[in-house]
Structure 1
Amino acid sequence: TLTLWDCLILVALFGAYAWRTAFMEVHEPELVGPARLVGALSRGPRRIVTLLLFLYAGLVIYSSAEPFAEALVESGKVLGIDEFLLVQWIAPLASEAPEFIIAALWTLRGDAKLALGALISSKVNQWTLLVGTIPLVYSISLGAIGEVPLDTRQNHEILLTAAQSIFAVAMLVDLRVRLWEMGVLFGLFIVQFLYPDIRVEVSIAYLILALALLVPRWRNLGRLMKEGPFPRRAA
């Protein structure tokens, strides 16, 4: 189950992450397109426009989330597609498409560092703030303090995603991404997609590979925890 204790811990972790990143080195971004128009405004109007854009995006998400989810489930029933599969893969693909597009654009512009940083930040947000607020929202909708029940399949999915994240951290701990590592990550992803009944076995494979990568890179892990993924440059 997911409880309010989980909410407290995960949201606190997100707060610690936000506090830590606030002290990282700041680089002036190269603004293009609409962002350049907003960036050219003076401070007051720029903040107002940014706030309005944020509120507009939130309103669009709020108004479309429930109809989208219901339409997705009903489409699965009509087409004979497993509801869990649709919610697990199609829904995230649609909701996370903007960040994938942004990361791809940064990479095509030769700024893979920013692209990777955006994806890492998104992953941290998902595993702390997003997951952590689920029991809070559930309790509010319930009208009382409640626990979000999880069945065996959902527990296995959480285990699988967590193991995959640990393997990704092990890959990035030395701040380099190798082709064979990406091949392994993609290969295991395809395996779990084609054979969903072996989630636990794939999770164990992720954890074993993560351990194999972390053991020779343990010094990098200490430096990463101290300085962050993008350390400050020497003055």
Structure 2
Amino acid sequence: MRSVRERLAAVVAHAPAATAASPASAAWTFPLMIFAAFVVAWGAEAAEFLMSQGLALAALALIQTLPEFAVEAVIAWKAGKDPGMVHLAIANFTGSLRLLTGLGWPMIYAVAAFYSRRRHGRKLGEIQLHDEHAVEVLGLLPPLAWFVVVWAKSSLSLWDAAFLTLTYVVYLWVLLKLPSREEPLEEEEEIPRVSRWALSHRGWRKWAAVGGLLAAGGAIIYFVAEPFLASMMALAATFGISQFVFIQWVAPFLSEFPEKTSAFAWARRVTRAPVALMNMVSSNINQWGVLSALLAVIYSWSRGEPSSLPFDQFQRLEILLTILQAFLGWIFLASMTLQAYEATGLFVLWLVQFAVPSLRGEMLWLYGAWIVVELFLVALGKKRIPAFACFRRVWAQRKTGLRTSP
């Protein structure tokens, strides 16, 4: 990713090298990114029969977000050298997370609803999660809760990084304890041919085929990320997109592109919409945990001493807005469903803050008010939060063998 770092650093520094790449490069980098997204998705779907679905999705999410990690690392390094760049590090981090929840989750619902109507002639009222997905839902809560502490003290330290990394390690450990799916039956048309081919092998060859798909897709993402981002940077410069908007919204959208592609492909199959949603949630978890920790580590490394990444009042507002959006999304998923009005609400609230940035303060109150309403409904027994019970059930059954849920 050295070239990615160089080009992004040039963008941040307003250097002309950032626009050296031609927008025409998108003609080959764009299809290659799409192809890579499908390859890793096929590998992840096959991997569900070798390990728990959640662990497969966690690995997939890490592979898919490699470009985002590279982008954030560059900005954090620059921030360590120039305190004036700290706001861009926070902008990229918060923009990435708000895109996942405010755009990614609703789009998964929209794609699934469209194809449910088109292929099956019925309206999709909600995306129903399976019991095992409670691990991802609850896995989002610890780093999110800790970030309230980070926001309150207006800094992100190495101690915070250690705790956030620990939450992610525990999350992976729990996923490691869960069983894999049963072997697919011949008549299961839902499984893509490439995934079925990988699973048709026996013994170590099966693991090699599945690992090969993940490795091949990851390698394409790694090597194509630089020219892909560079061509998109050139397009952004051509259209006169500002530095802050590029860092907060455009760069995260592009760096998360492989993830969105595979998630939307799953959502088209309707029955796999819960998996698509958990793919996004896995990325939420690794960004709240690992990506934020990376910020603190790279920032300290750049400064040459243990340091805390400081937040000013504007950055605290950005972080609080991101926390409230994430917590509202968590309350929705804790019911083990994502309903139409919830997906619509997340999208509309994100769209307003994207289109009218000056309304960030008002958006805080809207998110907060909706959270209070949801908690009030829970207290009155009008809304259930079965995620905890689902997790206990899955954890109790972890020694019984293979799972059979899709």
Q: TM-score, normalised by structure 2?
A: 0.49
Residue range with higher mean Cα deviation, 49-58 or 157-166: 49-58
Q: Does 1:103 align with 2:280?
A: no
Say if 1:171 and 1:210, in contact at 8 Å, map to a contact too.
no
Q: Which amino acid is the alignment partner of residue 138 of structure 1?
A: Y
Structure 1 CA distance for aligned equivalents of residues 210 and 315 of structure 2: 37
| 8 Å CA contact retained: 1:106, 1:112 | yes
205, 208, 213: which one aligns with 2:374: 213
178-187 or 27-36: bigger deviation = 27-36
Residue 49 of structure 1 deviates from its aligned partner by 4.9
Amino acid at match of 2:390: E
Which sections of structure 1, spanning at least 5 residues, go unmatched? none
Report the residue type matching 1:40 in the other structure. Answer: S
**2:159 corresponds to:** 5
CA RMSD, 1 decimal: 3.3
Name the aligned partner's letter for residue 20 of structure 1: V
Q: How does 1:59-208 map to 2 (within 5 A)?
A: 76=236, 79-109=239-269, 110-208=271-369
Rounded to whole Å, the distance in 1 between the matches of 2:318 and 2:358 is: 11
Q: How far has the Cα of 1:68 moved from its partner? A: 6.0
Residue type of the partner of 1:160?
Answer: L
Contact 2:198 2:206 in 1 (8 A): yes
What's the secondary structure of 1:81's corresponding residue?
A: coil
Identity score, percent: 29
Does 1 or 2 have the higher relative contact order (CA < 8 Å, sep 6+)?
Answer: 2
So what's the TM-score if we normalise by structure 1? 0.80
- Retained in 1: the 8 A contact 2:199–2:210? no
Q: Is the 8 A contact 1:8 1:132 kept in 2?
A: yes
CA distance in 2, matches of 1:195, 1:229: 42
In structure 2, relative to structure 1, the CA distance for the partners of 1:216 and 1:159 (3 Å cut) is same
Q: 1:16 to 1:181 in 2, by over 3 A?
A: same
Contact 1:31–1:39, Cα closer than 8 Å, also in 2: no
Q: Per-residue deviation at 1:171?
A: 1.3
Letter of the 2:160 counterpart: D
SS at match of 2:337: coil
Deviation at 1:13, TM superposition (A): 0.9
Q: Contact 1:4–1:136 (CA<8 Å) still a contact in 2?
A: yes
Change in CA separation of 1:210 and 1:50 when aligned onto 2, cut-off 3 Å: same
Provide Cα deviations, 1:36-88, integer angstroms capped at 9, x if missing partner. Answer: 33333334234445555555555555556566667666765564322121122
Q: Which runs of 5+ in 2 are unaligned?
A: 1-154, 185-189, 401-406
Deviation, structure 1 residue 32? 1.4
- CA 1:70 to 1:149, structure 2 compared with 1: closer, same or farther past 3 Å? farther
Offset of residue 167 of structure 1: 0.6
Q: One-letter code of the match for 2:342?
A: E
Q: CA deviation at 1:98?
A: 2.4
Equivalent pair of 1:3/1:148 in contact (CA under 8 Å): yes
CA distance in 1 between counterparts of 2:212 and 2:373 reads: 47
Count of aligned residue pairs for this structure pair: 234
Cα distance in 1, alignment partners of residues 280 and 314 from structure 2: 26
User: Residues 56, 78 of structure 1: CA spacing in aligned structure 2 closer, same or farther, 3 A cutoff?
Assistant: same
